[in-house]
Structure 1
Amino acid sequence: MPPLPSQRIAIGGFQHETNTFADTPTGWEDFAAADTWPGLLEGAALLTGMTAASSGKPSNIPIAGFIDAALQATTGDAPAPRLIPALWCAAGPSGRVTHDAFERILGRLTASIAEARADAVYLDLHGAMVAQHSDDADGEILARVRAVIGPDIPLVASLDLHANVSEKMMDNADVLIAYRTYPHVDMAATGARAFDWIRRRLDGQPRPHAAWLRVPYLIPLCWQCTDAAPAQGLYALQQALEGQAADSVSFAMGFPAADVDKCGPAVWAYGASAQSAQAAAQRMLEAVNAAESAFSGDILDAREAVARAIGIATSKGGPVVIADAQDNPGAGGSADTTTLLKALVAAGARGAVLGLLVDPPAARAAHAAGTGACLHLSLGGKSGIAGDTPFEAEFVVERLHPGDVVATGSVFSGYQLTLGPSACLLIDDIRVLVISKPVQLLDLALLRFIGIEPAAQSIIAVKSTVHFRADFAPLASAILVCAAPGAFLLDPARLPWSKLPAAIRKAPRRA
């Protein structure tokens, strides 16, 4: 009897989280170059670039988890599936993706998938991409891929927990699978779950019935952490419903900085019948609606945050972590605002560190001057953010680094980070970590690489909103959320909306 043929799965990805209120467009070069993410990978380089390292664990990237699951798959006497790599790329959150970048990348992705003549297709998407000419860029990606593979080829995509999911996305995919954690420690695991759905479809399971329901309010990003209430309980319910009522249930809390019609949270479910999918989605929506008032907490201005941090560090010890949440480069922030730094200096903070502040000219000047040099710098504040200006001061160049860092934490697990020329600058007893490419300070290695031990600090100011909690919460004596000037406003009600439907509340109602 001849051997069974190997099933062919085309794989690819195109990821971006778009802050439409940010002024800086996202171009081809942003997807092609490596920074937090690997640079653009195509063909065989996609497989080698995402294959598990010597640790045996895939990088915490969805497509890496998918590849790892596929390489380990066996089904009776059937051979493992054959992966046909197309194209994968991602760019850090920023403004709309340019027309040129979107069409160039999607054109190459769809051409490769068409040529593959695969039995199934997997896509690693974000779900909150907006292009200059498409408010629902992820929906457009799925529609164009569906057009080249036809109606019967299984198409499964993984999505970020912050996806803004549309009916167009639902209609063009057999199954959409979203992350369940924020901080996103389950990205690779989500890719593996997507592979499980591909395998089910290839084994003959019919396309499941789907139900999609929209949540009527926006959830501020700073209160979306799944390690705390109310999100923690909602995701526990999601998993319970998946075991009892439907084959798959997802809850995406949305990216609340996208002025598009589809912006906002959504729930969806897949089941063997339309009734089971609808019942599970409805139960999930009722729970999310009931939790609306709990998505809230204390947000401090820079002076309040610093004063409270100094008080806590003095009485309880440190480190106290201050989230400079509105200047988070992981949500489209410029990562160069200085208001929180100025507040630390003005208050005479001791044993404090702030990072990661993006200022390539300052980093280059520090490298040119060398360790031990004293420099007068106009640091940061170059993005024109309202209420923020550069910080003029004398700094000592304490340490220098080329900026290639191996991540060690749970979110960036397996990542090779490219920060560009980096410097630790000292002013009074405050250290400022200056880098050349925007990266969230969410991994302890992003302090240790330049000689700073996180646990020894009194105050750590991080340009991050929630992701830092995975690695920093276990050692923090307290965590404070600060709303210093930045491109990512924590309160969606303050944004100048023009396309959000009137029925969607711009912030949760308080109890």
Structure 2
Amino acid sequence: MTKRVAIAGFLHETNTFAPTPARCTNFEQGGGYLPLSRGSEIIERCGGVNLGISGFVDYARRAGWELVPLLWTGAIPSAHVEKDAFERIAGEIEDRLRKAGQIDGLLLDLHGAMVAEHLDDGEGELLARLRAVVGPSVPIAASLDLHGNVTRQMVDEADVLVAFRTYPHVDMAETGERAAEQLERLMARGRPFAKAFRQLPFLIPIPWQCTMIEPAGSLYREVAETEGGAVSSASILMGFPAADFEDCLPSVLAYADTQEAADAAADELERSFLDRENRFSGKAWEPGEAVAEAMRLASGATRPVIIADTQDNPGAGGDSDTTGMLRALIAAQATNAAIGLIVDAQSAMLAHAAGEGAEVELALGGKSNIPGNAPLTGRFRVEKLSDGRFKATGPYYGGADMNLGPSACLSIDGIKIVVASYKAQMADREMYRFVGIQPEEQAILVNKSSVHFRADFEPIAETILVATAPGPMALDPADLPFTRLKTGTRLSPGGSAFAAKEATRRVG
């Protein structure tokens, strides 16, 4: 008998320290995701794209399910989701589910680290509302980002949560398929899995969570090896270490035929995770030092030296408009260098008004009021203009149709700058090419990204440096002004523990 499965998605990674909230317009536009899609639009738009929802659809077609697409939306990471945006979107998903009629299962594409203005646990609240609609007997499965901050409510309300295993997230669609497979098992068995949930007591800097390096690489191989026999699904989530609430923590999940098997799997993965705690570290450079080292390396290199501007990563809540690394390039008189993206709609508009080949006075970037940052005022040459529409070709965005709004390649002192109107993480080489910059031909590239850029840029990189120019996403979580973490949480691997009295002192 054909299974009737409803699918939906609501994704946001919330940096509670970031300067700009997520509004309805951000979810409508998508910012590197699909634009907000309803009903059949979801099926039409998600094909061949690296997203969990795409994996749902591919699996469903093979399984012969009847899909009931509800609503799918995602916004690029930022500060809190505005109350109005959360309630509109969650309310519409709930309403469409209520009108969908009888279903055999519900598949949700979620992030796992959403904080709204009025709710710490966005996904837990959404799952609870949808559970109330479908009742206790309809299984709910959800795919999650590797950076999810999983809560007890999320675990209790969903029958299975399945997380990415790669960072850069090149397995988003694959994870959607794995979540759909777990839903099929639940529908076939007619009863829930036993669940085990563990939270780890330390926060991990984003750049050192990368699964292309150690210790995360081998840790995630263990996750895959855990599955089999009585264990149906296992996940490790690194957590998103910039959310000021108690459940901002890494976690382990296991689902099995018996509670004993689930607990044993979760305990073993927890031990492996804890054993690696002090290995989550790496070298970071001040802006001037990073550029000097890049220039030294580039003098004898045949491929670009890439600098990650990690603290203004729009994939972690930055506005992608700080100018610290651009100033460092100019001060060092770097040559054959490019930086992207700097998001500044006003400057892009003025460049379009001036036209290609013109010179224009601008106060570029620096409009997010980040301490230690300011607009860069100068005379820029307009090298090339674009409407901001192109198809990403790298493995992270995975064929997505991008829309960065009116965009331009500007230059100052020979340094090329990708300027866009809409925010998206610099994680695809096409994000240089669409304004005429060939990334492979540059000596130095500065990418506003922490890790995702590695998927498409590492194959062309001489080496990669991590730089810490001023920005809203501190590389070390210990530098963030937390007030509400769980007491005893280590603020970095092997670091000092958070205490309530420390929080009181910080806000007093």
Q: Which amino acid aligns with 2:432?
A: L
Name the structure 1 match of 2:84. Answer: 100
Query: Match for 2:93 among 101, 104, 109?
Result: 109
Q: Which amino acid aligns with 1:36?
A: G
Query: How many angstroms apart in 1 are the aligned matches of 2:203 and 2:339?
Result: 30
Matched residue of 2:262: which SS?
Answer: helix
Name the structure 2 match of 1:270. Answer: 255
Instruction: Count the aligned residue pairs.
Output: 494
Which residues of structure 1 form unaligned runs of 5+? 53-57, 74-79
Name the structure 1 match of 2:69. Answer: 85
Query: Match for 2:422 among 434, 437, 440?
Result: 437
Query: How many angstroms apart in 1 are the aligned matches of 2:199 and 2:11?
Result: 22
Name the structure 2 match of 1:55. Answer: none
- Decide whether the 8 Å contact of 1:234 with 1:288 is kept in 2: yes
Q: Which amino acid aligns with 1:258?
A: A
State the shift of 1:203 in Å.
1.8
Which residues of structure 2 form unaligned runs of 5+? 496-508
Q: Which amino acid aligns with 1:59?
A: V
Matched residue of 2:261: which SS?
Answer: helix
Name the structure 2 match of 1:330. Answer: 315
Query: How many angstroms apart in 1 are the aligned matches of 2:24 and 2:387?
Result: 24
Are 2:43 and 1:59 equivalent residues in the alignment? no
Query: How many angstroms apart in 2 are the aligned matches of 1:386 and 1:23?
Result: 11
- Decide whether the 8 Å contact of 1:97 with 1:130 is kept in 2: yes
Query: How many angstroms apart in 2 are the aligned matches of 1:507 and 1:308?
Result: 26
Structure-to-structure mapping, 1:24-173, within 5 angstroms: 24-50=20-46, 52=47, 58-73=48-63, 80-116=64-100, 117-173=102-158
State the shift of 1:316 in Å.
2.8
Q: Which amino acid aligns with 2:44?
A: T
> Which deviations, in whole Å up to 9, do the C-alpha atoms of 1:226-285 show, x marking residues without a partner?
011000010011111113662211000000000011101000101111011001100001
Q: Say which is worse superposed, 40-49 or 161-170, in terms of deviation.
A: 40-49
Across the aligned residues of Structure 1 and Structure 2, the Cα RMSD in angstroms comes to 1.1
- Decide whether the 8 Å contact of 1:37 with 1:91 is kept in 2: yes
Matched residue of 1:184: which SS?
Answer: coil
Are 2:483 and 1:487 equivalent residues in the alignment? no
Query: How many angstroms apart in 2 are the aligned matches of 1:484 and 1:88?
Result: 35
Matched residue of 1:198: which SS?
Answer: helix
- Decide whether the 8 Å contact of 1:377 with 1:392 is kept in 2: yes
- Decide whether the 8 Å contact of 1:270 with 1:277 is kept in 2: yes
- Decide whether the 8 Å contact of 2:182 with 2:232 is kept in 1: no
Query: How many angstroms apart in 1 are the aligned matches of 2:244 and 2:135?
Result: 32
Query: How many angstroms apart in 2 are the aligned matches of 1:204 and 1:83?
Result: 20
Query: How many angstroms apart in 2 are the aligned matches of 1:161 and 1:178?
Result: 6
- Decide whether the 8 Å contact of 2:28 with 2:35 is kept in 1: yes
Relative to 1, partners in 2 of residues 1:473 and 1:489: Cα closer, same or farther, differing over 3 Å?
same
- Decide whether the 8 Å contact of 2:19 with 2:368 is kept in 1: no
Matched residue of 2:300: which SS?
Answer: helix
Matched residue of 2:99: which SS?
Answer: helix
Query: How many angstroms apart in 2 are the aligned matches of 1:129 and 1:47?
Result: 24
Query: How many angstroms apart in 2 are the aligned matches of 1:314 and 1:325?
Result: 24
Query: How many angstroms apart in 1 are the aligned matches of 2:455 and 2:30?
Result: 23
Structure-to-structure mapping, 1:234-313, within 5 angstroms: 234-243=219-228, 246-313=231-298
Q: Which amino acid aligns with 1:71?
A: R
Query: How many angstroms apart in 2 are the aligned matches of 1:18 and 1:204?
Result: 36
Query: How many angstroms apart in 1 are the aligned matches of 2:27 and 2:319?
Result: 17
- Decide whether the 8 Å contact of 1:312 with 1:318 is kept in 2: no
- Decide whether the 8 Å contact of 1:138 with 1:169 is kept in 2: yes
Q: Which amino acid aligns with 1:247?
A: S
Query: How many angstroms apart in 2 are the aligned matches of 1:259 and 1:32?
Result: 26
Q: Which amino acid aligns with 1:239?
A: A
Query: How many angstroms apart in 1 are the aligned matches of 2:472 and 2:229?
Result: 42
Query: How many angstroms apart in 2 are the aligned matches of 1:245 and 1:507?
Result: 35
Name the structure 2 match of 1:213. Answer: 198
> Which deviations, in whole Å up to 9, do the C-alpha atoms of 1:400-458 show, x marking residues without a partner?
11100100000101200110011111112210110000111110111111221111110
Q: Structure 1 segments of 4 or more deviating over 4 A?
A: none
Query: Match for 1:406 among 381, 391, 394?
Result: 391
- Decide whether the 8 Å contact of 1:208 with 1:270 is kept in 2: yes
Q: Which amino acid aligns with 1:14?
A: F
- Decide whether the 8 Å contact of 1:306 with 1:343 is kept in 2: yes
Query: Match for 1:501 among 460, 472, 486?
Result: 486
Q: Say which is worse superposed, 444-453 or 398-407, in terms of deviation.
A: 444-453
State the shift of 1:205 in Å.
4.9
- TM-score, normalised via structure 2 length: 0.96
Name the structure 2 match of 1:15. Answer: 11
Q: How many percent identity over aligned positions?
A: 48
State the shift of 1:34 in Å.
3.7
- Decide whether the 8 Å contact of 2:407 with 2:418 is kept in 1: yes
Matched residue of 1:247: which SS?
Answer: strand
- TM-score, normalised via structure 1 length: 0.95
Query: How many angstroms apart in 1 are the aligned matches of 2:104 and 2:238?
Result: 32
Matched residue of 2:351: which SS?
Answer: helix
Matched residue of 1:505: which SS?
Answer: coil
- Decide whether the 8 Å contact of 1:251 with 1:266 is kept in 2: yes
- Decide whether the 8 Å contact of 1:408 with 1:445 is kept in 2: yes
Q: Which amino acid aligns with 1:103?
A: E
